[in-house]
Structure 1
């Protein structure tokens, strides 16, 4: 199990409160992940990593998100890139980068939302890709959502070819034509420094293909993606972190005990469902979407319960309850499949 020490989690929880007011990159959190070997979790052993089984990886995410959602989310974006690299690790370049991640703590991130949930209504591709006769790829366009691009060594992203196929490539941050915009001002998680990256005729060597060209490149060679169990686990971990704070309120307000107990029971049931689905290798898309809806609902209701318990004090900017409400809303927009959105809207309007 990727269990980090109680002291690590206590520090992470305390430090998370200092992240919220501004958008400073969490250097110390990332460095502590490196020092603890967390960046090795998804790297195969042949490259010096730990190659954790999926259930252990999700338990690690659960613990981290319970202490600090910002840190856990940053790690998922790094690991999403690493897992894509693993699927293309027969490539010498990808193999060398995976070794650098395990040995030196190289930091990666992804820009792939335009292949799944973001800007799918547009007729023209957000990022266009084409290949020169010598094999060099060129990317031109704007990647709408990239987390921590200014601090990543590598970005895994891509575009659509004229024939509709898609390709994923490894892009070095300092490549000519890569322009990282000022991070967007978000409702929460501003320390993740998430925003747009422009690719102006960026040239990428032929050996840096991560996946594709293929009709649906996001389905090539890796698990996870939009609505995957990992996103649900982070929602559950965030809810458990809020419940930890609600438990503190119970000590002085006995009337909250029953409500908190019911929320804990729901969280326990959801955790069992998630780990069972993981053991079954994700199960069906429908079951993953149902689990995601349940996780979104739980974290939203738990944050509202915490605010109600704290009353007016919780409505003051900077209070943990106010931050909990904003962070819970993140799961309504992050990698959220349309089926989950529809379930949420139906629930809000009391429709079956």
Structure 2
């Protein structure tokens, strides 16, 4: 039987898919195994088509519809949805670039789920930027660039067919102001995925270091650059932007729904649930406005509020679950661990500062 394609965030088939993902989430967390079955289900349901233009086999959902879809997926299984965001990040970077040949070659495969690509770009945005020497460099050669170094945080690098990564262009031993983005097949000599890191949460995302040892990147694989601030080239997802806030809000929704389920049995949960639910819908309204391009608030403010809500709502769910929630394997305990992820993943410094001030009881204006 052919799986019906999900064509909008209001499609009942999306709810069916989310129930399937939810049923697999605890086992995936317990084993740390790559969510291959979840990704297969998503591919068959057309999830990978949401993010790409129709000329490449995509459905080209609006940013608002993508947010609504992500919210449901993240509430069902954050690990799977996080992996999809990294896959989507690679797709959108390629689609936003000027390499039409590369687009025609790989985007239809990505839309169909026949290829898995991921991103390794945190070293250009938030991670390891304090070091005097770039961790991943690009040396000019006659037919392109040679990459040397590593990307510190790559999700699913050991399962990827290709990694979209970025590197600092070098002039001898001196970094220049220019950077490049490249779509690098993992079967290319010198690409060496490391052992996935054991994380507090989301270990099944198989996030870890990928090394690049004398890896040749020709013009055929170049996505953008050489140019200054290559991450600003084209239109695509921004690390630390509203996509990450969407995942946080989706996880918060799962915890808030849990409180709602428990409230009929425990009347004392009614008021806390109402307060958290009200805050959720306030943030959701701003999130949807930002997705529509209406700057009702900064992405940093949105991220800080989403971070705060997901931490407090998951801990409220744990308090409601009591000792059972603290047992290994309970979904509420998993949510609490997963919520910590948002304090560290692509977290801009202003957001980090605001979260630290709130945790210290100083308020977010200090």
| TM-score, with length taken from structure 1 | 0.96
**1:326 aligns to 2:334 (yes or no):** no
Counterpart of 1:139 in structure 2 is 147
Q: Secondary structure at the match of 1:29?
A: helix
User: Is 1:78 aligned with 2:91?
Assistant: no
Separation in structure 2 between the aligned mates of residue 105 and residue 56 of structure 1, nearest angstrom: 24
> Which residue does the alignment assign to 1:314?
325
* Residues 312 and 297 of structure 1: CA distance in aligned 2, closer, same or farther (over 3 Å): same
Q: Deviation of residue 104 (structure 1)?
A: 5.0
CA shift at 1:225, angstroms?
1.5
Q: CA deviation at 1:106?
A: 1.5
Task: Provide the rounded CA distance (Å) in 2 between the counterparts of 1:126 and 1:106.
Answer: 27
Name segments (4+ residues, structure 1) moved above 3 Å: 2-5
- Which of 278, 293, 296 lines up with 1:280 in the alignment? 293
TM-score, with structure 2 as normaliser: 0.92
Residue 23 of structure 1 pairs with residue 32 of structure 2: yes
Q: Distance in 1 between matches of 2:218 and 2:194?
A: 24
1:136 is displaced (CA, Å) by 2.7
- Write the distance in 1 (CA, Å) between the matches of 2:343 and 2:239: 12
How do 1:79-98 and structure 2 match up within 5 A? 79-98=88-107
Does residue 155 in structure 1 map to residue 163 in structure 2? yes
Taking only aligned residues, the RMSD between alpha carbons, in angstroms, comes to 1.4
Determine the C-alpha separation between the residues in 2 that align with 1:335 and 1:197: 17
Q: Matched residue pairs, number? A: 349
Give 1:221's aligned residue: 234
Instruction: String of CA shifts for 1:143-196, please: whole Å, max 9, x gaps.
Output: 100000121111100210122311000100111011111100000111100000
- Say if 1:179 and 1:218 are closer, same or farther in 2 by CA, change over 3 A: same
Cα distance, 1:105 vs. partner? 2.9
Matched, 1:122 2:131: yes
- CA distance in 2 between counterparts of 1:274 and 1:7 reads 25
2 CA distance for matches of 1:104 and 1:255? 46
Question: Is 1:107 paired with 2:123?
Answer: no
After TM superposition, give the deviation of residue 246 of structure 1 in Å.
Answer: 1.9
Q: Do the aligned partners of residues 44 and 267 (structure 1) sit closer, same or farther apart at CA in structure 2, a change above 3 Å counting? A: same
Preserved CA contact (<8 Å) 2:239 2:346? yes
Is 1:55 aligned to 2:68, yes or no? no
The answer on 1:211 being equivalent to 2:224 is yes
Contact 2:96 2:236 in 1 (8 A): no
Q: Is the 8 A contact 1:39 1:105 kept in 2?
A: no
Aligned residue for 1:192? 205
In the other structure, the counterpart of 1:66 is 75
Instruction: Give the superposition deviation at 1:242.
Output: 1.2
**Does the CA-based 8 Å contact 2:98-2:224 persist in structure 1?**
no
Match of 1:232 in 2: 245
C-alpha contact 1:94 1:210 (8 A) present in aligned 2? no
Alpha carbons of 1:251 and 1:11: their partners in 2 closer, same or farther (altered >3 Å)? farther
**5+ unaligned residues in a row in structure 1: which ranges?**
none
